[in-house]
Structures are given as C-alpha cells and as structure tokens.
Amino acid sequence: MAKRRLSKQQQRRIASLQKNKIKENLQQERTESLDEASTQTARVISHHGRELFAENDALETIKCKIRQNLGDIACGDYVLIQQIQETAQSQPDEAHYVVVAVKERSNLLLKTGFAGATKPVAANIGQLVIVTAVKPAPNPYLVDRYLTAAENLPAKALIVVNKIELLDDDTRQLVDGLTALYRNIGYRVICTSMKQNIGLEDLSQALSNTTSILVGLSGVGKSSIVKAMLPREDIKIAKTSEATGEGKHTTTVSALYHLKDNGIIIDSPGVRDFTPINNSRDEITNGFIDVRQFSGACKFSNCSHKNEPGCAMKQAVADGHLNEQRFNNYLRMLDEFDEKE
C-alpha cells in the first residue's frame, strides 16, 4: 500500500514545529549554567536521540544531554562533558551533564540509511568482527562488502562462522570452502557454537585489548555471542523466525560492553543488507587485499578488468593466484559503484 503524501501545508507545519523545537533546545542550552571545572572525557556507550550514556575513566555511567550543534555522535566516540549546575527546578531523573565537544576520531563506521543518507554506526574501532552463520547460510559477497569497510576504516577484520552445530553434508562443504578461502587470503576465521560452547575461548582471546564491533545479518547470532561473552548482561536474544529463516531485530541501538583483558565490544543493530560507503573505485580496490596487489599491472591504465587484453587480474585468476569468486565480487562492487555514480 502506497504511503499517503503530505500536503505542502502539512510539510510547512512539520518544518515549523521542528524549527521551534530547535529554538527551544537552543534557548534551554543558553540558560543552563555549566561548571567548566567539571570538564572530563567520557566514551559514548549508547545513544538515544538527544541524550546519551557515556563512561568516564572510572567506568561510571553518566547520562548526558547533547548540544544542538555537535552533529552526529556515534557509540564509541570520546566526548568532553561538563556538569550542569543544579537549580531549584532540576529534576532527579534529568541528565546532569552536557556533551560540549566530540574529540577527534581514529575512524568512523558508516552505513547507508533512509533514502541513501549515511548513518554513523560506531567510532574508534580497532576490529570489525564479521559474523556469519550456518543458518542463515553464509553470503560471501556480503562478507566481502564488510571486508572492504574494514580495510578502508582501517581496522583489523575477523570472520566468525557461528551455529556450526547445524552443519550437515551440504553446509559443511560451503563453510569449509569459505573458511579456506579467507584464511588463504590472510584473514582469521573462527568457527563457533554458542549452544555447544565451541570456539568461545579463541573468540575471547581475539577480542582482547581492542574495541571490536559485531556486524552481520540479523539471525546470525551476534547478540547471542555478546551474551556468551557477558553472561551477566541483560541482552535480549530472539529466536530466528521459523517462517523466513531470518532473525528478528533484537538490538535497536549500538551498545558498548567491557570484556576481560581490556577488550571492548560494540553490538550493532542487525541489518538485512550492508553497503560500504565507497568514495571511489580506488577504495574498492584497496578493500580487496588479494586483488589490489595486481592493481596497476594491467597493459592499459584504464583497464576495466573485463574484456581488455593484458589484464593482470584476469591473468592472475587464470594462473590460480587470485580466487575467481573474490574477483567476480570485486567486479560486481565496481559495477554497483559506477551505476550509483
């Protein structure tokens, strides 16, 4: 059923209400008295509209308001906060701190949101943990899209194949092939089962001493992995829909959790698809670590790697030095970028 279009009068009314709300927020910010001596750095652990929760160096959780002009703030951002000086009108459940600045990021993971707009997912990430599963079946093209995002952040990439208790003869061949492919390229692959407690020790070690974010389709078990790593946390786990084989969206906002051995994990909302924000064909090439070693070696500088003679990439595939599936996924991503442009 088609959505009802708003009339121009309705659009003007909505725009006016939004403008008035912004004015109200700005006026409130001007009347708030802040204690500059209380300034401290905190890290965003979850973000909810115009408020967020952050942790200071003592790992205390602080509820904060957000100043109007700071732009997008992501889970994992480091921010400067200042305490609001209380008045007679202050309410006990109100936020008592204000985010006054966002510190420089080492990187920012973005995804494509509504109408093609970019949306921040998480900041200051050391490792992208790409979670796939036996069911729903692994999608190598989706894995490659995540890997391009990791390479261009840049961040380390780790591939997790979850739910291996569901392996049968058909899926075992698929999973074994996928595991061998990415290990041969140089990526670490860990096979896990939350039900049978398989691979958890290896995964726990891989998550130590860095900030990791779990990404992957809904239903692959991202929240179940977080629950296994942090059994005392109140993580909602939903069963995979028997009708579709796809998972329900159990995580609605990114959230940051502490692990042992100085590990931090960010659980991101499940997505049914993921489009890395590639700004150029060169970024796509950089995202394929096995493909990029042949970049610039073709006979023609503007080689499309399809029909031209002297293509170094096609020759590498023919010689067995470059996986054909990875090469085809690379070309597919280039074609999608060209169509968008």
Q: What sign does the dihedral 224-275-130-134 (CA atoms) show?
A: positive
CA atoms within 13 A on the CB side of 309: 0
**Tens of pLDDT, residue by residue, the chain (341 residues):** 444 556 666 666 655 555 544 444 444 444 568 888 889 999 999 887 788 999 999 989 999 999 878 888 999 999 999 998 875 455 555 668 999 999 999 999 988 766 667 888 899 999 999 999 999 888 999 999 999 999 999 999 999 999 999 999 889 999 999 999 999 999 999 999 999 999 999 999 999 999 999 888 888 988 889 889 887 765 555 444 444 344 544 445 778 899 988 999 987 664 445 667 888 999 999 999 999 999 999 999 999 999 899 999 999 999 999 999 999 999 999 999 998 87
pLDDT digits (tens, 9 = 90+) for 95-104: 689 999 999 9
CA atoms within 13 A on the CB side of 334: 16
| CATH homologous superfamily, domain 281-340 | Probable gtpase engc; domain 3 (1.10.40.50)
- Looking up tokens 């159990």 gives 250
Q: How confident is the model at residue 277, as a pLDDT?
A: 81
Domain spans of the chain, in order of start:
32-102, 108-267, 281-340
Domain spanning 32-102: CATH 2.40.50.140:
yes
Q: Is residue 161 classed as helix, strand or coil in its secondary structure? A: strand
Q: Are 267 and 216 in contact (CB under 8 A)?
A: no
- Where does 3-159 have alpha helices with state H? 8-31, 140-152
| The domains spanning 32-102 and 281-340 adopt the same CATH topology | no
Concatenated DSSP letters of 267-288:
EPPP-S-------SHHHHHHH-
The total of other beta-carbon atoms located within 10 Å of residue 215's CB is: 27
Query: Which segments within the chain are labelled E, that is strand?
Result: 34-48, 51-55, 61-66, 78-84, 97-102, 108-112, 118-123, 127-133, 156-162, 188-191, 211-215, 255-258, 264-267
Q: How confident is the model at residue 24, as a pLDDT?
A: 46
What's the rounded Cα separation, in Å, for the pair 28 and 43?
24
* CATH code for the structural domain at 108-267: 3.40.50.300
